[in-house]
Amino acid sequence: MTTKTMNGHIAAFITILIWGTTFISTKVLLRTFEPVEILFIRFMIGYFALWCVCPRRLTIRNRMQELYFAAAGLCGVTLYYLLENIALTYTLASNVGVIISMAPFFTVIFSGLLLHDKRPSVRFFVGFLIALAGIFLISSGGEKALQLNPLGDVLAMAAAVVWALYSTITKKISSFGYQTIQTTRRTFFYGLIFMVPVLFLMDFHIETAQFMDIKNVLNLVFLGFGASALCFVTWNFAVKILGSVKTSVYIYMVPVITAVTSALILHEKMTPVMIAGIALTLIGLFLSENRRPDKKRTEEYKASANVE
């Protein structure tokens, strides 16, 4: 494994480590803010944070590339988070956790259709099924078992599809040769633009009093700087190095990190079923992740070493 590849894995792990703990901040903020308010504020913070880190303006070479950035913002920022949040109002969080974890499977489909990537080996799909079984055990091992709710579950499935499409588009954008922070900022810009019409349709009403609580401010800063600005940069960097499919399998880790942090921070009970689920998920991740790179992917690694 090359140093560049190792950096890609580290970036993906850091991303998922932070994303897996964001539920704590969101839980605190939901006492004062509406979901759409949290979403808009965190990405506004993230957008301006990226401007501060890299104030250089990104000059796009052609209109087609601009459309890719718009599509990434629509899918990865606006649609994904709205679909996920709305799904949570109709179905159990455990359902959403399991269904969202199917994103790597859809990423394989989009990578083949849009990027003409080589189809993964049988090992990848075996790992996918094992990880999905583990995530199912983690989600159903607590007090609330999975229950079917057609509308909420369909919305969660749509969110998984949209995230897979975002990861695939991000891989395409990485081939343009732009700086990762700049491309992430451009994606945020379009995400916020597409989010504006939604603000008028949903309950968006921010007051100064909401920011008087230091806990709210700190959690918004964490979501804006950490979960948005930093994590989207590291995720896009990982996709650039590892590819959309190999990076997406790290999504399996989100329920694991969530379960562990729930036990450590919120003192929620960790049942034997959940521990078994964590073990299965990690085994599935290992099987899906360790694929021998093909010639095309090796050439991509070498090319990416000359970028940035």
**For residue 258, what pLDDT band results from cuts at 50, 70 and 90?**
confident
Across 54-70, average pLDDT: 94
pTM: 0.82
Digit-coded pLDDT (tens) for 171-185: 999 999 999 999 999
The predicted structure's pLDDT at residue 26: 81
Q: Cβ(71)–Cβ(79) under 8 Å?
A: no
Task: Name which residue leads in pLDDT, 272 or 139.
Answer: 272
Mean pLDDT over the full length of the chain:
85
| CA dist., res. 203 & res. 32, Å (int) | 13
Say what the pLDDT of residue 175 is.
92
Cα–Cα distance between 139 and 160 in angstroms, integer? 17
pLDDT at 200: 86
In the structure, what pLDDT confidence band is assigned to residue 301 with cuts at 50, 70 and 90?
A: very low
Confidence class of residue 216 from pLDDT cuts 50, 70 and 90? very high
CA angle at 131 for the pair 128 and 135, rounded to the nearest 5° = 135
- Over residues 255-284, the mean pLDDT reads 81
The type of residue at 42 is: R
pLDDT band at 292 (very low <50, low <70, confident <90, very high): low
Is pLDDT of 73 > 60?
yes
**Comparison of pLDDT for 225 and 303, the residue scoring more:** 225
Q: Which domain holds residue 139?
A: 3-304
pLDDT over 70, % of the chain: 89
pLDDT score of 30 more than 60:
yes
What total of structural domains would you count in the chain?
Answer: 1
